Structure 1
Amino acid sequence: MNLVDLSWRNMKRNFRLYTIYFISMFVGVVIYFTFSGLMFNEDVVAAIQNKENYKTVILIASIIVFLFIVCFILYANSFFMKQRKKEFGMYLLYGMKERQVATMVFFETLFLSAISVSSGILIGGLLSKFFGAVLMNLMHYNDDISFAFPLEAIVSTILLFALLIGIITIQSYFNVRRVQLVELFHAKEKIDKPFKFSMTLAILSIILITASYYTITISGDTDIWKDCFKETLFATTVALIVGTYLFFRQFSGWILQRMSQSKNYFNGTKMLWISSLRFSIRGNTVNFTFISLISAIVIFGVGFIAVDYAVKGEVVKKEYPNHIAFSSQGNETQKQIEQIMNDSHPIIGHETITGIQTEKIPNRKPFFSHPEYYTEDFYLFPESKLNAIVDLREVGEKVDLEGEEAIVLTRGLDEPKKYKSPQPEITLLEDNTFHIVEKIRYPLLSIPTSPGGNSNLQPSVLVISDEAFEYLKENHTLSSYEIYQIEDSKTSNDVSRKIFDIVMKAEGEGAYYSAYIDMHSIDTESSSLILFSVAFFAVIALFALGSVIYFKQLREATEEREHYAILRKIGVEDKEIKKIIGKQLLFVFLPPLILGLVHSWFLLYYTVILIIKDLPSLTTIIFSVMGLYVLIYLIFYVSSTSIYYKIINEKNTR
């Protein structure tokens, strides 16, 4: 029998163990190919406005995904090797050389990789339509995405996983080489000593976690955060990490010991699962700490990015309320433009506003927080036109001005700012002075845009009384602008391109043009890509974290077969054994999850929820992220209890 035959027989004999390893690699291939496939999918690339930015983000995300997958699969391989140490010891005892054992492992890895890569590419290609549709939905595009198996994605996947096979082989070789033969036979016979805890450290863990939470709650306007931000952030982070570690290392041991000292400790199966946990708590401390902290980071990251995605959509609506706006054109051109809109996105509202362009006003600091974002010349519009636009948009408050009163339209304000006496004054059109009575956030003419995403300075707009405007328009040139509201503006990319070309051709580069979809596309694309990538990272992280616990429990289940065999001999029924396993694994899965959720809630509540108050779907987003995380974690728990029970039953069924 040669090494290839031996490798194949090993895989068939230890099918369950190899299945776990195969799933780890298979999931890695599917996720990586999905990312690389999206980067080269022609339908997706054609729909994206900013193609270079898209490919750059997806490429970086693919690299990060692959590095994460490498670390996870190397961990899975390490677990796989430890489970087989006794088997390798037998091979070495029978005269096989370390190099031959490593070669056998190489063939096994090659077989598994060939199956996982081929099946992963197939499934990844089939899923590409789904994930492409998800991405399009996030970007609010209606483009159809077809099934795709881009050659570039296939080649890159094969090459990178071939590199991974080489890394795994080297790792396996050194794992076999550096362990002594005697150690191999006793690799599974090490048992943790009963856990000892310190009451002082147990209390300290709660103090540190509570202190870090308190510091987070005062992160708003307190001096400690303003004056010593970096130091406070570092101290809070360290306290949270150390507190979490001591919580599992000391406080959980105290809880278990208190439970073992209760009066009903010997009733039912309580003694069995508590004693088992007390012996294994030391070995699980680092894993629990790591899982809690990474869970908090993942939930906070996904929650924060999801909220950012939603907020950007709301901000674009506020800053670019005109679906399409441009300088007034001739009758024929105007009809042509309206026909283009009505062909695919029917007009639901239209208003023409007429204003007066003033001379340049270099000093605009009294009127704008960031005057560099606005034009030096002002545009004067009568109050009636602003009120007409309020009716058109059905958003905003109407104004009522008299005489020389004026309102400055700006952006970035949460609430209108009213000026009391003495009111700021502005002199325009030679000797016409106006008193600024209020500053409000209402872009009558929003920032000029182009379908490519470029923008220009926002027109500085001053709203004056109708009588003042009637007086001024007699001696000054008037400028008119067309403002349209259309149906389904989130999908009007093609319409915007066509109208932009017409307006620019008719009036040249100086013409005014602004469309909601232009900025919506750019902002939504970037935030969608980030959310999509972060969500994938979260799935990988969650899969890896769940697998860490999963592998750990499989190892413990294998080691405890004999213990459960003894329990069966003394009369413990299968129903009771299932309860023991369920309670034992619940203590393993639940505390890290709960602590991770609490950590993330404090971070999200005091850095996001309290700050962003005008987003109705905010809490829904946060709870959805947490709920999904808990659901996936629950699946790992149920799967672990099932496989744990099967493993401890194996010896009895033979």
Structure 2
Amino acid sequence: MTLFSLARKNMKNNFINYFLYFGSMIFSILIYFVFVSLKYDQTAQSAMADSAKINTAFSGASVVLLIFVAIFIGYSNSFFTRKRKKEVGLYALLGLRNKQIGRMLFYENFLMSLFALTIGIGLGSFLTKWFVQLLMKLMGYDVIAKFAISSSAIVNTAIVFLIIALFNSIQGYLLIYRFKLIDLFRADAEGEQEPKTSIQVALLSVLMIGCGYWIALQDIGKSKIWGTLGMGTTALLILILVVIGTYFLFSTLTLTLLKLSMKNKKRYWKGIRLIGRSQLFYRIRGNARTLTIIAVLSATTLTAVGTAYSLYYNSRSMSELMSPNSYMFIANSPNQAQKVQDVISANTNHKVNYHLSVPAIQIDADTSNIMSGSRSTKRTFTLISSESFNKLAAVHKKKDTLSLTGNETVILIPFYKEGQSPDYLGKSIKLLTGHKGETITFSGLKPYTLLNVEITFSTLVVSDELFASLAKKMKPLQLETYGISNDTKAEELTTDIEQLLPRSEEMPSLSSFYRDYSQGLQSSGLLIYMAGFLGLVFLAATGSMIYFKQLTEANADKGRYQILHKIGVNKKEIKRSIAKQVAFIFALPLFAGIAHCSVALSVLSSVLQRNLTVPVLICISVYSLIYFVYYLFTVQSYYKIVVTQPK
């Protein structure tokens, strides 16, 4: 039998042990191939107007994926080292030279990588059309992708992953030179010493994570820590505190709690519970680094996917906040306004819900009383009368009505945040209308706007009397506002209206809800697409890492469980013990990752001023479900190993 045949036979016999690793590699190659293919896909390039930026985004995501996969593959190979020591030692005892054994391991690793690369590229070539179609759907494009195989993407993927495969195969070749023969046979026979616990370090872990959470949850606008250290330094400090705290949590606090639970003799000595808890107690510190990495990766994945999905989920509400009217434009002449009205009325796909002509005045003001710390205290505002506000509020189904007198004013701010936005109430500004100006006082604030932000400045509502007085000095602009049905599908109508209005570099001639919505959908759809697939790759990798670690321990525990079975412990009890032990290992990084993610997304929720509970819960549920599948598979594989009778 040649070394090549022996390597192939080893792959076949150990395939069940390598299954998740092999599957994760295939999935990683598949996603990388799809990302690269999108740069060459004609359907995607022709549909997306901003294809250059999208290509850059996918190239960046591909690099991130590539780095992670390279680390994951190398890290995964290290898990097999302990399991292969006895096998390698046996080959050496039978007379094979180190060079021959190294070549066999080289062939084995390279064949597996080549096999995964072939399947990954094959599946990618077949599924790329559907992935392109999914991207187009998420970004709001109504196009049909064509089946096409990109030779450039195949070459790119093959070269990159063959280099990774070659590197890891060389590592396998060098494995034999790292250990002495006696060490190889005693790999699983090394005694396990009782790990030491420290109450001080356990409390320190809680304190560090608590401090990280406390800093993260501070109001960024008011917090002295954020203000003193700056955004970058504060974020880095939070990351360091949470990561180190998580490591101490797994390596010390968990040990302390396990040791305390073992003092309850009544529960500890019940059934074979002492076996599972003892194994956890003696091995948890050895797993601490792996669990910390998985917790951080889980938190990163959930945060990235949760952020992307939250933006996608809220894309309509964000667009409505910026552009409450389906269309709004400044009418330069009655003839122009009539032409736009005729185009909208002639379109049978959209019903006109309302049409209002709103007189508005754009005026500069001295805001030194409000923005004293700013270099420039001169700002431009858009003024409308309280009568116009009430009409707009009615068509937008707002219950607010204003009745202002004298020089009272109310400001409309769609993204108002207490502590970060200026304090307006009770303060005055001077409208620069002439030599003396006109002083107005803020009597109220509304955290929304009724005019599209794109072609207006900060909106002030003033009394009808004051507006009429100012209109005599400054000619008002005529703002035409429309509300139509099915405005998310108004691409054709929007294009027709844009052709009627002159374009200006200083200010857009038209503000439309559809353009804001479609642009937001494109960017958030692209983000959720990339974050979703990268998240799945990260999840597959983290699940595989725990799987490898547990299989390594299963082989070490095989003799102990077989002794238990011989002395009368049935297989059902053994499987229950295994399930509890593996559940503990799986649950620790998952719960820690969810906790870290929840804090990060609560900060995002505060910044965006949006309730992200629903999209975040959906992401966490899907992630946990897939994670649970890995847990079930690991329990089943662990059980098969420990109950297999020696031949």
Which TM-score tier does this pair reach, normalised by the shorter chain?
0.7 to 0.9
1:641 positional shift: 0.6
Q: How does 1:593-604 map to 2 (within 5 A)?
A: 593-604=590-601
Is 1:574–2:583 an aligned residue pair? no
Q: Which residue of 1 aligns with 2:484?
A: 486
Q: Which residue of 1 aligns with 2:157?
A: 157
Counterpart in 1 of 2:252?
A: 250
Match runs of 1:310-389 below 5 Å = 310=313, 313-328=316-331, 334-335=338-339, 338-339=342-343, 343=347, 345-353=349-357, 355=359, 361=364, 363=366, 381-389=384-392
Matched, 1:634 2:631: no
Q: What's the CA shift string for 1:55-97, capped at 9, x where partnerless?
A: 1111100110111111111222233354333333344445545
Question: Aligned equivalents of 1:238 and 1:250: distance in 2?
Answer: 18
Question: Distance in 2 between the 1:516 and 1:639 partners?
Answer: 48
Percent identical among aligned pairs is 29
Give the letter for the 1:188 counterpart.
D
- TM-aligned CA deviation for residue 643 of structure 1: 0.4
- The 3 A distance-change label for structure 1 pair 650 and 511 is closer
Cα RMSD between the aligned structures? 3.9
Q: Which amino acid aligns with 1:615?
A: R
Which aligned pairs between 1:215-226 and structure 2 lie closer than 5 A? 215-216=215-216, 221-226=222-227
Aligned position for 1:452 = none
Q: In the TM superposition, what is the alpha-carbon distance from 1:160 to its structure 2 partner?
A: 1.4
1:615-640 Cα distance to aligned partner (Å, 9 max, x none): 34x22223223323322222221111
Q: Which stretch shifts more, 24-33 or 432-441?
A: 432-441
Aligned 1:206-355 pairs, distance under 5 A: 206-216=206-216, 221-227=222-228, 237-264=239-266, 265-310=268-313, 313-328=316-331, 334-335=338-339, 338-339=342-343, 343=347, 345-353=349-357, 355=359
Cα distance between partner residues in 2 of 1:432 and 1:36:
61
Within 1, Cα distance between the matches of 2:470 and 2:233? 59
Secondary structure of 2:644 counterpart: helix
Q: 2: CA distance between counterparts of 1:115 and 1:346?
A: 54
Equivalent residues of 2:252, 2:285 under 8 A apart: no
Q: Is the contact made by 2:106 and 2:170 (CA closer than 8 Å) also made in structure 1?
A: no
Tell me how far apart the structure 2 counterparts of residues 44 and 125 of structure 1 sit (CA, whole Å): 15
Shift in alpha-carbon separation, 1:486–1:107, aligned structure 2, 3 A: farther
Aligned residue among 558, 561, 565 for 2:558: 561
- Of residues 512-521 and 472-481 in structure 1, the stretch that sits farther from structure 2 once superposed is 472-481
Q: Matched residue pairs, number?
A: 639
Distance in 1 (CA, whole Å) between partners of 2:412 and 2:217 is 35
**What amino acid is the match of 1:181?**
L
Shift in Å, 1:471: 6.9
CA deviation map 1:561-614 (0-9, x unaligned): 222222222222111111121122122222332333334334444x245666x6
1:548 aligns with 2:545: yes
2:580 to 561, 579, 583: 583
Report the Cα distance in structure 1 between the residues aligned to 2:620 and 2:545, rounded to whole angstroms: 20
Aligned positions of 1:450-465 closer than 5 A = 458-459=456-457, 463-465=461-463
The one-letter code sitting in structure 2 at the alignment partner of 1:499 is: I
The TM-score with structure 2 as length reference comes to 0.85
Tell me, yes or no, if structure 1 residue 169 matches structure 2 residue 169.
yes
1:454 aligns with none
Pairing 1:426–2:420 present: no
C-alpha distance in 2 between matches for 1:536 and 1:480: 48
2:642 aligns with one of 635, 645, 648: 648
Q: Determine if contact 1:373/1:458 at 8 Å carries over to the other structure.
A: no
CA distance in 2, matches of 1:396, 1:347: 24
**1:107, CA displacement in angstroms?**
3.5
Distance 1:397 1:190, change over 3 A: same
CA contact (8 A) 2:139 2:522 kept: yes
Deviation at 1:403, TM superposition (A): 6.0
What residue identity is the alignment partner of 1:268?
G
Change (3 A) 1:512 1:436: farther
Residue 452 of structure 2 corresponds to: 446
Q: Distance in 2 between matches of 1:424 and 1:209?
A: 46
**1:545 CA displacement:** 1.9
Q: Which residue of 1 aligns with 2:112?
A: 112
Deviation at 1:485, TM superposition (A): 1.9
The residue type paired with residue 48 of structure 1 is: M
Give the distance between the partners of 1:459 and 1:222, measured in 2 at CA.
Answer: 29
What is the distance in 1 between the residues matched to 2:387 and 2:377? 23
The one-letter code matched in structure 1 to 2:549 is K
How much has 1:513 moved relative to structure 2?
A: 1.5
Structure 1: distance between partners of 2:229 and 2:374: 31
Shift of 1:554: 0.6
Specify the code of the residue in structure 2 equivalent to 1:353.
S
Work out the CA distance in 2 between the residues paired with 1:88 and 1:212.
46
The verdict on how the C-alpha distance between 1:629 and 1:59 changes in structure 2, with shifts beyond 3 A counting, is: same
User: Secondary structure of 1:40's match?
Assistant: coil
Q: Distance in 1 between matches of 2:365 and 2:77?
A: 67
Instruction: Summarize deviations over 1:280-318 as a string: whole Å, max 9, x none.
Output: 233212222332333334334433444455556533321
> Match of 1:27?
27
CA distance 1:648–1:474, change in 2 (3 Å): closer
Residue of structure 1 in register with 2:514 after alignment: 517
Q: Note the alpha carbon deviations across 1:185-231, whole angstroms, 9 max, x for none.
A: 33333342233323444444444444554555556645455445688
1:615 maps to 610
